């Protein structure tokens, strides 16, 4: 019997069915080893030797694999067909060798780009050895990311409190977002005007022509800069005689886009489906691993991490057959279309992302898929089929119009584009992040010399707009254009930027947080080379050459480390005051924007003669006065919006006055405390007065957005909703440690949002309390059934008091904060459950051994654990 090792249990189950009883398929559940989160895991002095550590959750799996290997005739490593997959196979093989579990057994590597019976059997018939060049490329990238993270992040912690980490790709992506924000802030709108005439032909058809020339001078978009000039030209047009100068029609064609790569799939899924990069990859992973169709688990798409844009010949043939049969011969080009990758090095690329069987139409599998899977599969299917269809045939018509008014000659132009044959557009059209204004539609039939009547003339004012903020899609596109990172890492990079609090999403646009801008300014001031786009792209190119076997991975690391270590040594002796001085200079326009009254933006509004500057505190940076401690004026880095009355005020030591309570006449104050911002009603106990009523700001509420109305709402809690019809006791709504709730007679039920606290009525509250009671002691409700555990028993996502979790038997594992409970897969759930089971076993033993006499000793590991946790705040790969 042959032992086959794959990454996920879902793949293991499917592939075992394909291969039959002569094979045993086991899953590694992804990576089994990693570099320990401590200094010294990569040792530059020993030519970058690395210490690997088997993950706790992988120990049992590796034991099972090692045990199965003893009785196997052959070991086949069938992990994913990319660099990471090659690395996982290498790690598994290294562990088996270290345990002396291989002996003289043959070991081979097999790769398949799709989980179908044909693809798997074909791969098994053509095994190969592990690709050492791909493994070395993985080692180089992993070592680089470790060295940057563990060397640079501690410098950030010491010199820039509040900053969490820096990373080789993460920091460059953050710089792109911050630079775009700076462009927007520096942007000054420019006024311009456009003029157009609504013209009628001799046949009474109308069309709109825009002014493009005046008295022999060509007019650009910004040529007409003020109202006086616009009115003068409008007057000339209103008294002019119009005629057709020329008509020109030119045919042109539009070709389809190639099938999806990882990057283009992430971009298009955001534009058309609203998925972020992580969600796209999660859904694509499930489509790749397969779904149950007619009692058989079938992979619906090929591998979703690829730079390739071409398809296998048999896939092209299948798509062409489908086009010919379903759309007709005219939609099928004479020859198959070939696409070529534009990346500098695509040796790791496989096929483009495509359906494993193009004949499996989206409508045929829709019932077997959830909504996200169905939408993404349809997107991939349409793009794949469209890529082999005929070009769209267009006709672009341009009408040039003369306008004469005495000695003045004005030129106008109308353009229109019509589709003569839709071709691939009948099925698919690529989306855009920021569409340009285009004139479409058919123009009326006219000939040169025809007279035209002016129905009306318009003059419209416009202002230039700043460049748009990046979406995840447009940032990924920009990173790919610059050669920064690789498509397989983009989703993780986007997640890290959000998780670190460096950026936030606003209407699907990436906005840098203050913390992100400070980190970027710090790196540009003291580590500029390592956030330069060309440097990062050149490093990626070297790593690609390692993949191709053209460069030694240690040589690449030596070149990098020599200069990087020197830069680290230079920064170690720099005082925090020097860092602040550099940041004040670099971020001056952002932190101290011009004031409307023209006064010095850095003068202190509280004491008058102090100067404002960046200060560093325990929890990060803020703006403070140079006359501290006599003047305790502080504010957040970003000047709040000028639109709200509260936003115009700054936080002082005494807090920010929001107004007066209309019922009591007492002051309502916004203050900042040890545990964050809060609102307060009434006197200050620090001045010897009685304790006032206070309420912390709930999650999602920002201090610079607080108003008197919102503060009074918070201070009114808990709110009595009414009496319960069965007991007559009151039902209340309030905010607690775990969020908004309703309560009655000591029983609680969660509310979905803070807004519900102020609006929920008696009927809804009674229903929520009844539902909670009906759930039993645990209060858990099943959100999603995931399937069977390999050891038996159901696995499901549950809704708990403290958030969603996955359950198997008596084991509950909390979901990560950024994990959508509706998108988690069985494989991911099994990993969480196994990790919790391993951790839980240790906890129980430790608790059993602990006695009251040893309480003080038991507390000691907590300190080291905190230190260890701190060390784990390293950069992403």
Secondary structure tally for the chain: helices H, strands E: 24, 34
Active site residues: 303
* Residue whose structure tokens are 């447009």: 474
Contact 501, 298 (CB under 8 A): no
Cα dihedral value 349, 351, 354, 356, nearest 10: -130
Structure-token pair, residue 781: 């409700």
Cα separation of 375 and 359, whole Å?
A: 17
298 token code pair: 């079938």
Distance CA 396, CA 736 (A): 64
Whole-number Å distance between alpha carbons of 239 and 235: 7
Contacting residues for 237 by C-beta, under 8 A, at least 6 apart: 195, 197, 211, 403, 405, 410, 454, 457
Contact status, residue 241 vs residue 403, Cβ threshold 8 Å: yes
Backbone φ and ψ for 844, nearest 5 degrees, come out as -65, -40
Which CA distances in Å does 381 have to 301, 362, 869? 9, 7, 44
- Residue 750 near residue 800 (C-beta atoms within 8 A): no
Round to whole Å and give the CA distance between 380 and 302.
10
Taking the C-alpha atoms of residue 821 and residue 846, their distance in angstroms, rounded to an integer, is 31
Gap between the Cα atoms of 217 and 22, Å rounded: 82
- Distance (Å, rounded) from C-alpha 717 to C-alpha 724? 19
Segment holding 855, helix H or strand E: helix 855-871
Bridge-based pairing state of the strands 74-77 and 2-6: parallel
3 state SS of 323: helix
Output b/e per residue, 667-697; b: 16+ Cβ within 10 A: bbbbbbeeeebbbbbbebeeeeeeebeebeb
3-state secondary structure 776-789: CCCCCEEEEEEEEC
Exposed, middle or buried: residue 414 (CB in 10 Å: 0-12, 13-18, 19+)?
Answer: buried
Question: CA–CA separation, 294 vs 650, rounded Å?
Answer: 65
Please tell me the total number of residues recorded for the chain in this structure.
877
C-alpha to C-alpha distance for 837 and 874, rounded to whole angstroms: 26
Are the CB atoms for 145 and 172 separated by under 8 Å?
A: no
**CA angle at residue 766 from 763 to 769, to 5 degrees?**
150
Please tell me whether residue 684 adopts helix, strand or coil conformation. Answer: coil
For 256, the enclosing helix (H) or strand (E) is none
The Cα–Cα gap between 627 and 603 comes to 11
Rounded distance between C-alpha atoms, residue 620 and residue 634, angstroms: 13
**Calpha distance 745→728 (Å, rounded):** 10
724, exposed or middle or buried, with CB in 10 Å at 0-12, 13-18, 19+? middle
Contact in structure between 431 and 275 (CB atoms under 8 Å): no
In whole angstroms, what is the distance from residue 694 CA to residue 682 CA? 9
CB of 337 closer than 8 Å to CB of 304: no
DSSP 748-761: EEE-SSHHHHHH--
Residue closest to 385 by CA, chosen among 355, 341, 364, 365: 355
């Amino acid at each position: 019997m042959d032992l086959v090792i794959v990454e996920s249990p879902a793949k293991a189950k499917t592939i075992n069915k394909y291969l039959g009883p002569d094979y045993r398929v086991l899953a590694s559940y992804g990576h089994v080893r990693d570099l320990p989160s401590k200094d010294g895991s990569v040792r530059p002095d020993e030519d970058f030797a690395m210490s690997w550590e088997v993950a706790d959750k992988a120990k049992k799996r590796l034991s099972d694999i090692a045990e199965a290997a003893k009785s196997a005739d052959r070991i086949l490593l069938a992990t994913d067909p990319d660099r990471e997959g090659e690395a996982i196979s290498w790690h598994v093989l290294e562990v088996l060798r270290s345990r002396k579990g291989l002996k003289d057994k043959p070991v081979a590597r097999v790769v398949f780009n799709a989980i179908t019976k044909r693809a798997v059997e074909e791969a098994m018939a053509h095994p190969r050895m592990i690709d050492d060049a791909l493994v070395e490329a993985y080692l180089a990238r992993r070592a680089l990311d470790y060295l940057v993270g563990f060397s640079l992040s501690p410098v950030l912690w010491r010199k820039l409190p509040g900053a969490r980490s820096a990373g080789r790709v993460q920091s460059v992506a953050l710089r792109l977002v911050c630079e775009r924000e700076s462009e927007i802030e520096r942007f000054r709108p420019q006024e311009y005007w456009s003029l157009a005439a609504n013209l009628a032909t001799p046949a009474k058809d109308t069309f709109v022509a825009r002014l493009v020339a005046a008295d022999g001078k060509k007019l650009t978009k910004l040529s007409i800069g003020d109202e006086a000039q616009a009115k003068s030209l409008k007057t000339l047009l209103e008294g002019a005689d119009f005629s057709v100068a020329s008509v020109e029609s030119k045919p042109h064609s539009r070709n389809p886009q190639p099938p999806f790569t990882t990057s283009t799939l992430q971009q298009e899924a955001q534009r058309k489906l609203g998925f972020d990069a992580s969600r796209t990859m999660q859904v694509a992973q499930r489509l790749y691993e397969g779904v149950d169709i007619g009692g058989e688990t079938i992979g619906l798409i090929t591998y979703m991490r690829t730079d390739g844009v071409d398809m296998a010949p048999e896939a092209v043939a299948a798509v062409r057959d489908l086009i010919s049969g379903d759309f007709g011969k005219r939609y099928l080009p004479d020859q198959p279309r070939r696409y070529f990758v534009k990346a500098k090095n695509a040796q790791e690329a496989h096929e483009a992302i495509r359906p494993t069987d193009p004949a499996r139409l989206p409508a045929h599998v829709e019932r077997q898929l959830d909504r996200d899977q169905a939408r993404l599969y349809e997107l991939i299917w349409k793009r794949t089929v469209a890529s082999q269809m005929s070009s769209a045939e267009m006709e672009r018509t341009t009408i040039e119009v003369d306008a004469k008014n005495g000695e003045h000659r004005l030129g106008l132009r109308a353009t229109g584009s019509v589709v003569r044959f839709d071709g691939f557009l009948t099925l698919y059209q690529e989306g855009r992040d920021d569409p340009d204004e285009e004139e479409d539609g058919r123009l009326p039939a006219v000939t040169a010399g025809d007279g035209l009547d002016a129905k009306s003339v318009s003059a419209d004012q416009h202002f230039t707009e700043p460049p748009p903020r990046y979406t995840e899609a447009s940032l990924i596109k920009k990173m790919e254009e610059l050669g920064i990172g690789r498509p397989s890492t983009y989703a993780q990079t986007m997640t890290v930027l959000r998780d670190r609090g460096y950026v936030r999403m606003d209407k699907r646009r990436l906005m840098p947080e203050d913390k992100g801008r400070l980190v970027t300014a710090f790196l540009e001031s003291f580590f500029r080379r390592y956030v330069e786009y060309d440097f990062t792209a050149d490093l990626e190119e070297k790593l690609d050459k390692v993949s191709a076997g053209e460069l030694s991975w240690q040589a690449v690391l030596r070149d990098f480390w020599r200069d990087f270590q020197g830069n680290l040594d230079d920064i170690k002796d720099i005082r925090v005051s020097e860092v602040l001085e550099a940041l004040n200079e670099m971020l001056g326009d952002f932190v101290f924007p011009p004031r409307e009254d023209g006064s010095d933006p850095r003068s202190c509004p509280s004491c008058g003669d102090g100067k404002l500057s960046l200060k560093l505190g325990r929890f990060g940076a803020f703006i403070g006065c140079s006359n501290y401690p006599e003047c305790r004026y502080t504010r957040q880095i970003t000047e709040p919006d000028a639109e709200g009355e509260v936003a115009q005020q700054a936080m002082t030591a005494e807090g920010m006055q929001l107004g007066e309570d209309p019922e009591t006449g007492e002051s309502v104050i916004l203050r900042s405390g040890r545990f964050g911002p809060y609102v307060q009603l009434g006197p200050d106990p620090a001045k010897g007065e009685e304790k006032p009523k206070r309420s912390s700001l709930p999650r999602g509420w920002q201090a610079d957005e607080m108003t008197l109305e919102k503060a009074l709402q918070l201070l009114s809690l808990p709110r009595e909703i009414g009496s319960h019809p069965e007991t007559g006791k009151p039902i209340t709504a309030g905010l607690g440690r775990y969020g908004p709730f309703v309560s009655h007679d000591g029983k609680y039920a969660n509310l979905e949002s803070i807004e519900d606290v102020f609006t929920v009525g008696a009927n809804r509250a009674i229903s929520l309390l009844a539902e909670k009671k009906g759930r039993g002691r645990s209060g858990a409700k099943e959100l999603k059934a995931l399937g069977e555990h390999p050891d038996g028993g159901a696995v499901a996502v549950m809704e708990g008091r403290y958030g969603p979790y996955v359950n198997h038997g008596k084991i509950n594992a909390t979901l990560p904060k950024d994990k959508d409970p509706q998108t988690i897969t069985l494989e991911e759930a099994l990993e969480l459950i196994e990790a919790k089971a391993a951790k839980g076993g240790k906890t129980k033993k430790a608790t059993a051994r602990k006695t009251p006499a040893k309480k003080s000793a038991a507390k000691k590991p907590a300190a080291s654990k905190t230190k260890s946790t701190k060390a784990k705040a390293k950069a992403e790969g």
